[in-house]
Chain A
């Protein structure tokens, strides 16, 4: 009974994902993460003379940047920015971290980032989702001021749903008032 229900839910998920692609009205903001679109820079263009070739540079990702993300000694190893209660401003101590990630984004236009905002558990789930969104948006705004591009960054909220710490103490809640910067393949 249980495995069957699980399989069914997988099938249902697959159907839902297909539905997500086909039934959603065309929305420019729904770029699939990680796909580089070459058509806008000339591939397949019919107005191009056959004697000239339009050069396209794949917006790949610098391998040293990817290595840095996994290196505990690098400036971009840390991904989390913590916030005060009911606050969305990025504290000074986190500005070097934001700056380092903004530089990585600027150097790698092909890399995508998802910022997940979080909130502590107190109060309404949906209101906390909106609070987490404010934090993710604050991180996104700071990254864009420092060189990140709109098309690279998506800010979303997990609200109070994915707590890092589940004790009901202030030190625990502080860990959950957080924005996490995740790159393609990490979310």
Chain B
């Protein structure tokens, strides 16, 4: 197997397994570490994990596909998370989402063709006081109006961020 998956250095599966060895129920924690590293859980890594842990691949996939947090596809360069918690929904979160969908011709859960943005909907970012909220790569933007989106996103499009 290559030393690289999608341009990232490979995660040391054996080391990981060793670290969590003997701790029951470790699969989810190991998957978290893998996803932290790659941004998603690549199939070849799951295969390898299945061998090292001696767990059927189906069982690993069963867990990955159950939880929203785990991804099977590589993420975009930037992730746009639009909050659809109740407060954000009431204050116009859906409008933001529609606007972004239109701007980049992308649906939620998808990555733009150029791989620049991954658009996702999140339940609650825990800052309802700032509703509607969106987050780009961990940076929170509060009280966003649809006509402000262009200004917010253009530095990312231009590659300034």
A and B bound?
no
Measuring CB to CB, which residues of chain A are less than 8 angstroms from any residue of chain B? none
Measuring CB to CB, which residues of chain B are less than 8 angstroms from any residue of chain A? none
